[in-house]
Amino acid sequence: MTVTSQTKKVTATGNSSARAFSFSPFVIFATSELSVVTTVIATGVETVISEGTGASAWSCGITTFPATGSINYPDSGGTLLASTHTITIKRVLTLEQQTDLNNQGGYFPDVQETQFDKLLMIDLQQQEQIDRSLVFPVSYTGGVAAEIPSPLTAGYFLRINAAGTALEWTANSTTAASASDTTPLADAITGAAGTAGVFARGDHVHPQTHIVGTAIASASPLVLTGATAGLDGRYFHVTGTTGFSAMTVAANRMFVLEFDGALTMTHGSGTLDLPWGANITTAAGDVGLFQSTAANVVTCIGFFPQAGFPTAALADDAITLAKLAAGTDGELITWDASGDPAAVAVGTATHVLTSNGAGAAPTFQAASGGGTAFISKSSPSGASAVDITGLTGYDNYTFLIEITPANDNVALQMYMSIDNGSTFITASTPYAFAMDGLLDSGTAFTDVSTGQAEIALCGNATYDNGSDTSEGCVMVVELLGRNNVTNNQRFTCRGQWETPAGARASGWGAGCWKRQAGTPDTTNDVDAIRFNFTGGNVEDGEIWTFGWNNA
């Protein structure tokens, strides 16, 4: 037989279904030459498995040798090897040579060849162990002896001695007695010294980053507990109300202070640097995060007041328009009786902002003192009527009218509304008026009417408007006391117009609404007016509306 494979061992991983594991290609002369070991992949823990029968042993069915093949593990029953384990099969020959050849005696060549094969197999067996041994690199030329000294005490580790000539065992430097106390130190300042050859405890302290320390009484300066030997925590309550502008604390400390009451921390560049460069008055529950950059030199990294952002931190003129919350178009900002911000509601066009005295927010109101305010201008063309609505902001209204009818022999007339122009009052003949007039020829005329369904602003039909370009109507109409619900809403008019015959007429008059049966309406205000002609449309013209108050 020849030995052509240098395979020293075979390793396979379980799969919970395989029982047979091959050890090919290496050859054995007896099953007793096999060594079987299982290994837990996660931990490296090894278990030597014995040859035999049953659930905890392996077996091999080879009967003719030399041969290669496979083993069964477990031999029978049991739990098949899982994927969390490996199985290693290695050939291990007894280190002996039992072939004895007689001098000049005869023997078969196979006897000698078999012995040569076994010797090579032993070489491979030993090489497998050498491959797992600690060795120096091929290029190493130093003077360290590779001999390992006798082991001493458990827990020691191997290292090169100080002279660099040999290996030696040394004690572990992280034993409980030399590297750390059972009770951790508070912070890495100065740990107790360790013994020679091991690390000092100062290198192995345990910062207590989440420990609430002893409460600190407020004082000036504020003295933090254990300042020279390290804080006994990282979070401290500060009691009392004594303000301070400095702290007594060791360098390189980060800590949190929660204030239990009101006190003032005074900003001082270089000793106590506070956010925004401003003093801070605390309230119960306020929290600050601090860092000492040097002994007794402290910076407040962040301050978190319970009541919100401190106004002292805001510089004057620091708030821009872009930072204000969005509001309603036309509203103004004021402060209510409680001193809280409030909005002044949007007013009506031409109204002015008016103070309502202490304890009440200002409001937009119609201008006082009887001043007249322009409201609008209408330019009707081809319209059947001109409606002026929204007459709610003033006591009285004046309408300047310059208008031309599309038809001859028509009169300008007016109606009133109490529902902002949804309907105009014509029922129950509610209007009464009187007009005096004079033609350019000197002829006078009078028109007195009661219980009318409309108000004829150009007098009676004898002297109606013409429709030529020069035959328009120019008139001033005043609505007086439009919200007078005690008496009657009144009106006056005065104007000039051209008759169809070419005469120029001038007239002036007055009238009222709600005089029917002498009973005024005490609940409704006039809030819209309609102008139209007794026939046809408005050809063109303009109407200006003004408002004014009684006082």
Q: Pick one of 4.10.320, 2.60.120, 1.10.10, 3.30.420 as the CATH number of 216-313.
A: 2.60.120
> Tokens 């309406």, residue?
521
- Cα dist from 436 to 441, 450, 495, whole Å: 15, 15, 11
DSSP conformation letters of 265-327: EPPBTTTEE-GGGS-EE--TT-EEEEEEEETTEEEEEEEE-TT-S-GGGSPTT---GGGSPP-
DSSP conformation letters of 175-216: -TTTT--SSPPSSSS-PPP--TTS--GGGG----TT-B---E
> Tokens 């005074």, residue?
266
> Tokens 């209408």, residue?
378
> Tokens 């120029």, residue?
504
Secondary element (H or E) of residue 352? strand 352-354
Could you please state the CATH topology (level 3) that the domain comprising 372-548 is classified under.
Answer: Jelly Rolls (2.60.120)
Parse the chain into domains and list their residue ranges.
1-133, 216-313, 332-365, 372-548
What pTM was estimated for this model as a whole?
0.38
Q: Do the two domains 216-313 and 372-548 of this chain adopt the same fold? A: yes
Tens of each residue's pLDDT in the chain, 551 residues: 788 888 989 999 999 999 999 999 999 999 999 999 999 999 999 999 999 999 999 999 999 999 999 999 999 999 999 999 999 999 998 888 888 888 888 888 888 888 888 888 888 888 888 888 888 888 888 888 888 888 767 778 888 898 889 988 888 765 444 444 444 444 444 444 444 444 444 444 444 456 788 889 999 999 986 543 445 668 899 999 999 999 999 888 889 999 999 999 999 878 999 988 889 999 999 999 999 999 999 999 999 998 776 666 677 777 888 888 888 888 888 888 888 888 888 888 778 888 888 888 888 887 665 678 899 999 999 999 999 999 988 888 999 999 988 888 888 889 988 899 999 988 777 888 888 888 888 888 888 877 788 888 876 556 676 666 667 889 999 988 776 655 667 888 998 888 777 788 888 888 877 644 455 566 778 899 999 988 889 999 999 999 988 76
Cβ pair 492, 501 in contact under 8 A: no
Cα four-point dihedral sign 206, 210, 213, 219: positive
